[in-house]
Amino acid sequence: MKPAGWAGIAAAGFLAALSLGTLAVVAVRAESGAGFGPADLAAIRFTVTQALASAALSVLLAVPVARALARRRFAGRGLLITLLGAPFLLPVIVAVLGLLAVFGRAGLVSSALAALGLPPLDIYGFRGVVLAHVFFNLPLATRLLLQGWQAIPGEHFRLAAQLGMTSRDIARRLERPMLRAVLPGAFATIFLLCVTSFAVALTLGGGPGATTVELAIYQAFRFDFDLGKAAMLALVQFGLCAGAALVAWMVAVPAAFGGGLDRPVARWDCHSLASRLADAAALALVSVFLLMPLLMVALSGLGGLADLPPGLWRAALRSVLVALASGALAITLALALAGAVMRMEVGAARFAGLLEASGYLSVAASPMVIGTGLFLVLFPLADPAALALPVTALVNAAMSLPFALRALIPALRDVERDYGRLADSLGMSGAARFRLLTWPRIRPAAGFAAGLAAALSMGDLGVIALFADADAVTLPLLLYRLMGSYQMAAAHGTALVLVVLSLGMFWLFDRGGRFHAAA
């Protein structure tokens, strides 16, 4: 086996040890307990309920938005699609601050209700958690469904027009089969993200009736140090995620549209006044829903820049260093795994599938349990608090690895399909092949993946909340503490700094990947 193959196997083993191994460490070190209490069972019910509601609302609301984007061409369409990715890159704690500014008890909507003599909104608890998850995941669902619409060959719509099919006929014959194939995967993806969500439940949930499994794991470790309960809850969470993935795989049915000639998609079925109004309303409503919290964060942040707290720039430096380390580690692991998967798909497809699956283990694993397991391993060797930042970078890299693989594996397949035989005939192999052929053509995908990993790490409020002391505070943790102490002016200014750094980190890597990259 070539060194690249061994590198991929080593990366897969490392990821399996990080996700499943840490869970085993926690379970082995845990003392036997009395099982789940009423609060734990309530946390499990709340997790499943809010994840189902969040995923269902996200995909159902995304259908008319994606449909409108797929069949309309208008000025600013590309910008709107780009802005749909902003909530996913936005630090969770900052987005929560923006949602509170719009939907909180003192927010814009509550102020309008008060002017009408109505009571203000209360977005804490179940409603707040679902609202925040829809805010984050509606754009993701829209992008996934939009890809499904774009995969329908333009010739099918041309033939439908020639046959005189109405909009209802096209929906039944073309759009519904596509949705039947795409919706289960989109639903399962969002369900997994909502099950493993931590910062949203920490800021908008809490209490006996609004605690998720991930938050219960944090409480069991941080406040009770009950490792047995943390391990059992982690197993429940892993089972929920694995079950959701299995159900999505069983339910999904390929749309089987076949290939096309890659002609531009022209639609003749959407020129009625009713369809134009429906599409315009869907795009307007989703734009207001997604952009208003971002606008409020910017406006409030500008007003809070004069009240920035002491220590902010030190926290910012720590966050930047953690993000850089996380992005570098994520792209290194993704390249090793993706390269090995590509080489083994020819003669060992099943083993290649196992290697690729190892990169997605972190989706089902709990960052809290990974952190706890690393704490138990490191405790006899060093002070875990002193290693809080490296551990945070490591866990964040593992959490962003699935997104990096989704970007890199298709890019590597394209390179091998277009240039593989030519490179083999020229005797190109090893480092020379990667440097001269592969890297120039996958640099845009690698830059995007590294930027996404760095931006997600910049805004993460997960493992750092377990181990950080006064000397290892990152920007998200500082922002959370400011919100907890009701220093809202300082919190808004800190949130703006965090947004600028997060989006700037993504732009830097993404732009660097595309700069002078081969087409």
pLDDT tens column, 314-342 = 999 999 999 999 999 999 999 988 888 87
- State which amino acid sits at residue 284: A
The percent of residues above 90 in pLDDT, for the chain, comes to 11
How confident is the model at residue 56, as a pLDDT? 94
How confident is the model at residue 265, as a pLDDT? 57
Closest CA to 493 of 292, 319, 290, 316: 316
How confident is the model at residue 470, as a pLDDT? 65
User: 62 and 145 in contact (C-beta within 8 Å)?
Assistant: yes
Task: Kindly report the pTM of this predicted structure.
Answer: 0.81
Tell whether the model's pLDDT for residue 260 goes beyond 80.
no
pLDDT tens column, 394-424 = 988 988 888 888 788 888 888 888 888 888 8
Tokens of 410: 């298709």
pLDDT tens column, 154-199 = 666 666 666 666 667 676 767 777 788 788 878 888 888 888 888 8
Q: How far apart are CA 459 and CA 96, in angstroms?
A: 12
CATH number at residue 362: 1.10.3720.10
The reply to whether 159 and 127 lie within a common domain is yes
3-state percent breakdown (helix, strand, coil) of the chain, nearest 5: 80, 0, 20
Q: How far apart are CA 203 and CA 465, in angstroms?
A: 13
pLDDT higher at 267 or 434 = 434
The three-state (H, E, C) secondary structure of 24-45, written as one string: HHHHHHCCCCCCCCHHHHHHHH
Q: How far apart are CA 352 and CA 356, in angstroms?
A: 6
pLDDT tens column, 338-348 = 888 877 766 66
The reply to whether 318 and 251 lie within a common domain is no
In sequence order, the 6+-apart residues with CB closer than 8 A to the CB of 361 are: 15, 16, 19, 20
pLDDT tens column, 303-313 = 888 888 888 99
pLDDT tens column, 269-297 = 566 777 788 888 988 998 899 889 888 88
The reply to whether 324 and 439 lie within a common domain is yes
How confident is the model at residue 164, as a pLDDT? 62
The reply to whether 109 and 196 lie within a common domain is yes
The reply to whether 120 and 55 lie within a common domain is yes
Q: How far apart are CA 483 and CA 491, in angstroms?
A: 6
Eight-class DSSP state of 366: -
pLDDT tens column, 85-117 = 777 778 888 888 889 889 988 888 888 888 888
Q: How far apart are CA 165 and CA 161, in angstroms?
A: 6
pLDDT tens column, 334-391 = 998 888 887 776 666 677 777 777 877 777 777 777 887 887 787 777 777 778 888 8
Tokens of 495: 């949130």
Q: What is the DSSP string of 424-477?
A: HHTT--HHHHIIIIIHHHHHHHHHHHHHHHHHHHHT--SHHHHH--TTS--HHH
Tokens of 137: 């995941």
Q: How many domains does the chain have?
A: 2
The reply to whether 258 and 366 lie within a common domain is no
Cβ neighbours of 65 (radius 10 Å): 24
How confident is the model at residue 173, as a pLDDT? 67
Tell whether the model's pLDDT for residue 36 goes beyond 70.
yes
The reply to whether 17 and 140 lie within a common domain is no
Range of the domain at 499: 1-32+306-519
Closest CA to 500 of 337, 319, 360, 339: 319
Q: Tell me the mean pLDDT in the region 135-148.
A: 85
C-alpha dihedral over 430, 436, 437, 439, to 10 degrees?
A: 90
The reply to whether 84 and 214 lie within a common domain is yes
In sequence order, the 6+-apart residues with CB closer than 8 A to the CB of 164 are: none
Q: Average pLDDT over the chain, rounded to whole?
A: 81
Q: Where are the alpha helices (DSSP H) in 348-438?
A: 349-358, 361-364, 367-378, 388-425, 430-433
Q: Tell me the mean pLDDT in the region 444-454.
A: 87
Q: Which of 29-43, 396-410, 454-468, 489-503 has the lowest mean pLDDT?
A: 29-43
Residues in the chain, how many?
519
User: 149 and 182 in contact (C-beta within 8 Å)?
Assistant: no
In sequence order, the 6+-apart residues with CB closer than 8 A to the CB of 477 are: 315, 461, 464, 465, 468
The reply to whether 292 and 199 lie within a common domain is yes
Q: How far apart are CA 57 and CA 376, in angstroms?
A: 39
The reply to whether 382 and 456 lie within a common domain is yes
pLDDT higher at 260 or 456 = 456
- Tokens 């080489």 locate to 343
Start-to-end CA distance of the chain, whole Å, equals 31
pLDDT tens column, 212-259 = 888 888 888 777 777 778 778 888 887 887 777 777 666 655 444 444
Tell whether the model's pLDDT for residue 490 goes beyond 70.
yes
The reply to whether 214 and 353 lie within a common domain is no
Q: How far apart are CA 255 and CA 401, in angstroms?
A: 28
How confident is the model at residue 321, as a pLDDT? 93
Q: Tell me the mean pLDDT in the region 62-67.
A: 90
Tell whether the model's pLDDT for residue 261 goes beyond 70.
no
The three-state (H, E, C) secondary structure of 332-345, written as one string: HHHHHHHHHHHHHC
The reply to whether 362 and 442 lie within a common domain is yes
